[in-house]
Structure 1
């Protein structure tokens, strides 16, 4: 904390701001760190990379991200006001300082607001304003997506990660076969979803995390926030977890003047589900290589199975009716006999960690919750010993065109595999309950 405070104060002095006080690490953030502090009596947020090496494979640096945020703010988007960018001489990495906005980004809190319809409408309007920005409004370093190149990049990531997940292979093959023709590109936020939106009393107050901004199909941005994973507890509300797709599209169309194409929307829903599945897998790679040894990385890597479940539920819409009959069998735990198993040891440590939770504050309290989640995965795997998801032979056949969701018996096999895996990795994942009801008839 001492080194961070020293470097931050150096940066603040460069623009005539008072020294930082009450510096506190904010929870969450799958990639970047966020630190809240007070300067001159006003709240601010420092956003920075956990290490300089972590920025090596990024399409652009924090200076470009800050410029995009400034452009959005000027265009009337509820984006933060950027105050300054870090300098290498500050000695605390890469990042920038923003004026803090009111509201919460916690999806659990936001999804309890009574004014979900108003919030959904405002989110659609802000997204349309983002899409109104042109290439002249932002730095030239902001990339333009080539759809086919993006698929090829995902396939390369898949092969680097072992290339042995049949459901992801199904998604990649479907994308290759159904990639839409390019359309006039617009500025995409790239990560527009609950968790990156601030809200207060049912109204939108901020749009955060612009590191994935790029020019591409507007339907990509529209679809991303509608993925099952970003609806959190409201799986039943397909638009950002806040409402219906019809209401979301209507508000967007009214603000943008552009009609939403359902077919393009579905393509990008599948594309970004594959993208995030591979993003989760890469978290383990970052941890193993040492570029980021935070506990969240290895735990997020186990969320790959959530995306495989969501992906299969999307793809099975193309399967023949006879392949969609309920086939999944519920898991049966092993009997508890003899000495404690490894999973029971993990469960015991988790229970002890819960006893020291009152002693933890801030990010340490968040880390404790992540640690208990990791131990829970170990305990459940030991209890159920699910079928392994990896199958290199099946995956290769799918990618070479030898199988799809219509191939006899394939859908049922993959359903059972992913059902077991998500039951271990994320038993409270809302989409798992929907899959259980759909595939087994059980509630």
Structure 2
């Protein structure tokens, strides 16, 4: 950020005319991109840019095409951001674009605590509008998704990461066995969920984060925001944590969306949960490679456990009734308390306490966010040292991936349930679905 106060005024003078820069601050969060809010000539803006050139290297399209797509959506009447300028190499700030800032709520927890009455209908309507954008208005660089090829790529990534997570193997095999026929392609937002929308008193105000857009099956967008992880604790409301699936589908269809195929929707719910499980593992690879050395990347890498738990909850219906009723095996014994020199977990606890007492109170903005992330990371290590839980089992993963093992095997579902409960308790003990799974499975 050190060069932005100098370089940003030159960009804004080029795209918006004369003015004075003020209020520049980095917005907290943002797992993929950096965002900075600022004022120019009395107007509020946001700069969205890549944290590094390496981060953009493997993406199917760049920020120029992304900005063009957002502008096409805005022009089509979608509640997309209004782009006012795109970074050029001579600007010296990497790749990205500037958009007018929408002053509305983005926090899922705050939105879901009291959502506007129209929100579910708004979500269905805006998605129908996105899917109705003529493909000839979509930049050529926006790729067409071949679901079979994409699933094969997920399998290859899984194997490259060790191929040793049984629940991920189970989900890959299920998706391969239930692959739907190709659908007529539409523009798919690719990340349509709580956390990527903003809401005000009148309802949905803007749809953010178009970097995963592609041409593909509309049901992928319909399902993504309904994943457990994106309901932020509102598990009794399967559509975005806001309402029922039937009301959501009715709003989508009523706004011009094509009829929803429930089986196709279920496929994409499993597929995108699998996709995000592997996406979390990929975050750890990004840290190891040096492409993104932040602590946040490592912590997200441990959220795979959430998706593994959700995958078991989604796929357990495939098991015989007797297996679904089987009692869970016991958890492994916890580590004994230390009596001599400070143990590793005590050292971790000391560092975590120091950050909470001394670093976090003295930090502001993104620095405070990073302090909280660091505390979360140490919390994972602390629980891991105490529990000694591992998720890897290559032999079982290979058996599930090949179909030699299935959920009909006596005791397998019970074992997977116990494994995902214990791993999620280490990595994400506050995950709402963990509480629900414990109750359902008597774990």
- Cross-structure match for 1:48: 49
- Cross-structure match for 1:248: 248
Once residues 17 and 239 of structure 1 are traced to their aligned partners in structure 2, the CA distance between those partners, rounded to angstroms, is 45
SS at the partner of 2:235?
coil
Once residues 367 and 148 of structure 2 are traced to their aligned partners in structure 1, the CA distance between those partners, rounded to angstroms, is 42
TM-superposed deviation, 1:6: 2.4
**Residues 111 and 17 (structure 1 numbering): CA distance in 2 closer, same or farther, change over 3 Å?**
farther
- Cross-structure match for 1:401: 403
TM-superposed deviation, 1:257: 4.5
Asked if the contact 1:113–1:201 (Cα under 8 Å) also holds between the matched residues in 2, the reply is: no
Asked if the contact 2:233–2:433 (Cα under 8 Å) also holds between the matched residues in 1, the reply is: no
Once residues 328 and 134 of structure 1 are traced to their aligned partners in structure 2, the CA distance between those partners, rounded to angstroms, is 54
TM-superposed deviation, 1:344: 2.3
TM-score, scaled relative to structure 2? 0.96
- Cross-structure match for 2:155: 155
Once residues 214 and 70 of structure 2 are traced to their aligned partners in structure 1, the CA distance between those partners, rounded to angstroms, is 12
The C-alpha deviation readout for 1:360-416, integer Å capped at 9, x for no partner, is: 110001001101100100111122222x21111111122222112222222112111
Counting only pairs closer than 5 Å after superposition, residues 11-410 of structure 1 correspond to structure 2 as: 11-15=11-15, 16-115=17-116, 117-201=117-201, 203-325=203-325, 326-329=327-330, 333-339=334-340, 340-356=342-358, 357-386=360-389, 388-410=390-412
**Residues 332 and 243 (structure 1 numbering): CA distance in 2 closer, same or farther, change over 3 Å?**
farther
The C-alpha deviation readout for 1:159-207, integer Å capped at 9, x for no partner, is: 1111111110111111111000011111110000000000112611110
Asked if the contact 1:105–1:198 (Cα under 8 Å) also holds between the matched residues in 2, the reply is: yes
Asked if the contact 1:113–1:202 (Cα under 8 Å) also holds between the matched residues in 2, the reply is: no
CA RMSD of aligned residues (A): 1.4
Asked if the contact 1:180–1:264 (Cα under 8 Å) also holds between the matched residues in 2, the reply is: yes
TM-superposed deviation, 1:343: 1.7
**Residues 266 and 328 (structure 1 numbering): CA distance in 2 closer, same or farther, change over 3 Å?**
farther
TM-score, scaled relative to structure 1? 0.96
- With 327-336 and 106-115 compared, the bigger mean Cα shift is at 327-336
- Cross-structure match for 1:424: 426
Asked if the contact 2:124–2:251 (Cα under 8 Å) also holds between the matched residues in 1, the reply is: yes
Asked if the contact 1:13–1:19 (Cα under 8 Å) also holds between the matched residues in 2, the reply is: no
**Residues 109 and 393 (structure 1 numbering): CA distance in 2 closer, same or farther, change over 3 Å?**
same
SS at the partner of 1:256?
coil
**Residues 83 and 342 (structure 1 numbering): CA distance in 2 closer, same or farther, change over 3 Å?**
same
Asked if the contact 1:328–1:439 (Cα under 8 Å) also holds between the matched residues in 2, the reply is: no
Once residues 109 and 330 of structure 1 are traced to their aligned partners in structure 2, the CA distance between those partners, rounded to angstroms, is 35
**Residues 20 and 93 (structure 1 numbering): CA distance in 2 closer, same or farther, change over 3 Å?**
same
Q: Which runs of 4+ in 1 moved over 6 A?
A: none
Once residues 431 and 321 of structure 2 are traced to their aligned partners in structure 1, the CA distance between those partners, rounded to angstroms, is 26
Once residues 389 and 330 of structure 1 are traced to their aligned partners in structure 2, the CA distance between those partners, rounded to angstroms, is 13
TM-superposed deviation, 1:7: 2.6
Once residues 364 and 309 of structure 1 are traced to their aligned partners in structure 2, the CA distance between those partners, rounded to angstroms, is 31
Once residues 257 and 145 of structure 1 are traced to their aligned partners in structure 2, the CA distance between those partners, rounded to angstroms, is 20
Asked if the contact 1:341–1:382 (Cα under 8 Å) also holds between the matched residues in 2, the reply is: no
